[in-house]
Amino acid sequence: GAVVSQHPSWVICKSGTSVKIECRSLDFQATTMFWYRQFPKQSLMLMATSNEGSKATYEQGVEKDKFLINHASLTLSTLTVTSAHPEDSSFYICSARVVMGLANEQFFGPGTRLTVL
């Protein structure tokens, strides 16, 4: 499958600081990327859809001013968690959409574990 990378793989920060997470498609161009969040023993929850060159579409209940998404190129999307608080501690995972013929699939990055102290 297609390769998606994320950086950093884990980060610990103090409450009130901002954290940027990068998501890259390594061997393909991704016009659409998705950001998910997963709390322990819970399923993946879609936060937002990131489209290259346009504003992200946020899911209901996700604060767009707190979770800033930038998809400036066909291989890079970033998620910035602004003024992070302990309740933002979670596993953040991006995915990229790959369309090949009739197949339309999503491949996930390895995830970023954020811990806010």
Of 14 and 41, nearer to another protein (C-beta) is 41
Pairing of strands 45-51, 32-38: antiparallel
Name residue, tokens 């990055």: 109
Q: Which residues inside 82-101 make contact with another protein, applying CB under 8 A?
A: 91, 93, 97
In this structure, what is the dihedral angle of CA atoms 115, 41, 2, 102, given to the nearest 10 degrees? Answer: -140
- Nearest distance from residue 57's CB to another protein, in Å? 7
Of 57 and 80, nearer to another protein (C-beta) is 57
CB 15 within 8 A of CB 30: no
- Applying CB under 8 A, among 77, 109, 114, 116 the residue interacting with another protein is 109
Taking the CB of residue 29, how many other CB atoms lie within 10 A of it? 11
Answer yes or no whether residue 43 interacts with another protein by CB under 8 A.
Answer: yes
Answer yes or no whether residue 5 interacts with another protein by CB under 8 A.
Answer: no
Of 52 and 82, nearer to another protein (C-beta) is 52
Contacts of 67 (CB under 8 A, 6+ apart): 35, 47, 48, 58, 79, 80, 81, 82
Of 60 and 86, nearer to another protein (C-beta) is 60
* Interface ranges with another protein (CB under 8 A): 1, 32, 34, 42-44, 46, 49, 57, 91, 93, 97, 102-111, 113
